[in-house]
């Protein structure tokens, strides 16, 4: 297991955390159903990713502070990976296991969540057999997809060359 | 209340409900068409894209594996001109005729001596175009036009009123319909053209000359919820009569000569208004599914930057790790 280093994750990853909370506010689930607080969110297996992907080293990020304020969240468990070249953070990869309150297979739910991330209207493409939404953050490209009950959000610096190869490799991740 | 006015009210109520029905049907047709476009755009398809711009005929054959992988070839006036293959970040390209550069190079003259001059395959390992970002104006790069056509079409549909083709409709004019009728099981959706000027609006200080979308007919053919063909035409021919009425002219000659004269009249007005002339255009897109398991492969190629190509290429062409 790799030790998490306390670093500031990229903005889109934090956005994704925030959206998972915000979306819960407009849930189609019964009004009595409540999401989880940050303290209830568990960590996922940190060995989901290998130690290196392409030319990047992989570490688990510490997101305790970001999760601390979360309330009414759709997330059961979450891990944020940082992908670095040397000490430079190139990308973050957030894997979130959603609660049963989240209607993951409902296109309206997916679109509501996806629309809440990024600075441009998300564009949907199919890569292999997976539907991926592409959008942009501040100086970063954001890719979002669902796998079963899991939500995966990849944020990559604009100046990283093989962005699409990186997405393709991470699409193979099965939490 | 007089009996006559009661009749008028009943008539208006009937008309209003009828118009509401039309509006609802148009909204339904638009929603159905947008769904079909969205579903088709995600699939692995072969696109046969034929774009006749003025006197030039551009053919693009594209095989799409998925959102990041495709192979495409361009022919110009029947001459094989250029091929490219994108696989994630990598782009391989081959120039088959110098004319190809006019349609894909950022600066065709300077690109002639570039890495594609040998006619062999060249690969830029980070050079694939980003099809989801801002692309050239439609008409400038036929390969990118073909690959991004469903996005363009979606925007056109969003902006237009959509009706299902109905040969029995009162306002259907077969003599002004440039496109084939749908085959069995196929639904044809027609986008209504923009508004042509009328006699009252065609002249005067506030008059605006017609735009390309005012002279555009666009029909989408859908089978089993997927787009199978698109036909798009910018031409004067279907609009000769309303244009003659608007501008109070009746050019001599046959239908082609009349259309040419009216296009000349419109482009004269556009030139005076400082806007680009309208170029007649006819576009046909045929969509067929790729065989299951279709994959694109980058051929053996020389590694070099393909920055000479518009919206493609990286600084070095090399992936350095």
Domain ranges for chain A: 11-171
Cβ B132–A125 below 8 Å, yes or no? yes
Q: Which of the residue ranges A103-112, B81-90, B188-197, B226-235 would you say has the lowest mean pLDDT? A: A103-112
Which backbone phi and psi does A62 adopt, to 5 degrees? Answer: -90, 115
Q: Report the gap between the CA of B42 and the closest CA in chain A (Å).
A: 5
Q: Are strands B281-289 and B302-303 parallel, antiparallel or unpaired?
A: unpaired
Q: Are B89 and A134 an interchain contact pair (Cβ–Cβ within 8 Å)?
A: no
Question: Is any Cβ of chain B less than 8 angstroms from the Cβ of A30?
Answer: no
Residue B175 neighbours by CB distance under 10 Å: 6
Show residues of chain B in contact with A53, CB under 8 Å. none
pLDDT at B60 over 90: yes
B132/A134 Cβ within 8 A: yes
CB contact under 8 A, B132 and A163: no
The residue of chain A with its CA nearest to that of B128 is: A164
Mean pLDDT of B169-177: 91
Query: In A, which residues are within 8 Å of B305 by CB distance?
Result: none
State the ipTM, two decimals. 0.84
B79-84 LR contacts (CB < 8 Å, sep 24+): B82/B143, B84/B143, B84/B312
A163 touches chain B (CB under 8 A): yes
pTM value is 0.86
Greater confidence (A17 vs B189) lies with B189
Q: In chain B, at which residue ranges do the beta strands (DSSP E only) sit?
A: 45-53, 56-66, 69-76, 79-87, 90-95, 122-124, 162-164, 186-191, 216-223, 226-234, 281-289, 302-303
Cβ <8 Å between A165 and B321: no
Interface test with A, best of B44, B86, B88 (most A CBs within 10 A): B88
On whether the CB atoms of residues B65 and B296 are closer than 8 A, the answer is yes
Strand partners of residue A146:
A151
Which two tokens mark B234? 């910018």
Q: What is the DSSP string of B232-277?
A: EEE-SGGGHHHHHHHHT----SSHHHHHHHHHHHHHHHHHHHT-PP
pLDDT in tens, B92-112: 999 999 999 999 998 888 777
Q: Does 3.40.1000 match the CATH number of domain A11-171?
A: yes
The shortest CB-CB distance from A161 to any of B43, B67, B89 is to B89
Q: Which residues are within 8 A (CB) of A157 and not within 5 positions of it... i.e. 6 or more apart?
A: A10, A89, A90, A91, A139, A140
The residue that leads in pLDDT, B312 or A119, is B312
pLDDT at A33: 54
Amino acid B207: pLDDT = 86
Two tokens at A159?
A: 């100046």
């Amino acid at each position: 297991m790799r030790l998490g280093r306390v670093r500031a994750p990229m903005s889109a990853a934090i956005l994704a955390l925030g959206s998972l909370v915000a979306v819960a506010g407009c849930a189609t689930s019964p009004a009595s159903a409540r999401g989880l607080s940050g303290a209830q969110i568990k960590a996922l297996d940190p060995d989901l990713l290998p130690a290196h992907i392409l030319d990047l080293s992989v570490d688990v990020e510490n997101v305790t502070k970001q999760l601390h304020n979360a309330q009414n969240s759709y997330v059961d468990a979450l891990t944020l990976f940082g992908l670095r070249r040397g000490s430079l953070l190139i990308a973050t990869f957030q894997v979130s296991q959603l609660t049963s309150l989240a209607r993951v297979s409902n296109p309206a739910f997916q679109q509501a969540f996806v629309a809440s991330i990024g600075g441009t209207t998300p564009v949907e493409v199919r890569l292999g057999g997976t539907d991926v939404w592409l959008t942009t953050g501040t100086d970063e490209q954001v890719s979002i997809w669902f796998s079963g009950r899991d939500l995966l959000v990849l944020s990559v610096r604009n100046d990283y060359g093989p962005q699409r190869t990186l997405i393709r490799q991470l699409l193979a991740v099965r939490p | 209340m007089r009996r006559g006015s009661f009749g008028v009210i009943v008539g208006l109520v009937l008309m209003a409900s009828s118009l509401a029905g039309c509006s609802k049907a148009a909204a339904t047709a638009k929603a159905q068409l947008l769904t079909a476009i969205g579903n088709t755009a995600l699939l692995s398809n072969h696109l046969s894209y034929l774009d006749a711009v003025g006197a030039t005929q551009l053919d693009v054959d594209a095989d799409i594996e998925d959102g990041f992988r495709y192979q495409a070839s361009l022919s110009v006036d029947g001459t094989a001109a250029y091929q490219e293959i994108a696989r994630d970040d990598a782009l391989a390209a081959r120039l088959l005729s110098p004319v190809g550069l006019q349609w894909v190079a950022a600066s065709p003259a300077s690109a002639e001596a570039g890495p594609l001059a040998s006619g062999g395959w060249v690969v830029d390992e980070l050079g694939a175009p980003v099809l989801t970002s801002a692309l050239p104006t439609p008409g400038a790069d036929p390969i990118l036009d073909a690959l991004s056509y469903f996005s363009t079409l979606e925007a056109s549909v969003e902006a237009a009123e959509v009706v299902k083709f109905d040969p029995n409709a009162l306002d259907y004019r077969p003599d002004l319909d440039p496109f084939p009728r749908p085959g069995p099981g196929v639904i044809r959706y027609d986008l209504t053209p923009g508004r042509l000027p009328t006699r009252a609006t065609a002249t005067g200080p506030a008059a605006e000359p017609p735009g390309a979308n005012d002279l555009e007919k666009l029909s989408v053919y859908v089978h089993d919820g997927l787009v199978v063909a698109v036909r798009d035409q910018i031409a004067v021919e279907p609009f000769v009569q309303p244009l003659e009425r608007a501008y109070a002219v009746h050019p001599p000659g046959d239908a082609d000569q009349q259309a040419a004269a009216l296009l000349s009249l419109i482009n004269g007005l556009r030139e005076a208004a400082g806007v680009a002339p309208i170029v007649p255009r006819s576009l046909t897109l045929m969509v067929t599914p790729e065989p299951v398991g279709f994959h694109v492969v980058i051929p053996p190629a020389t590694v070099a930057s393909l920055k000479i190509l518009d919206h493609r290429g990286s600084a070095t062409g090399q992936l350095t790790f």
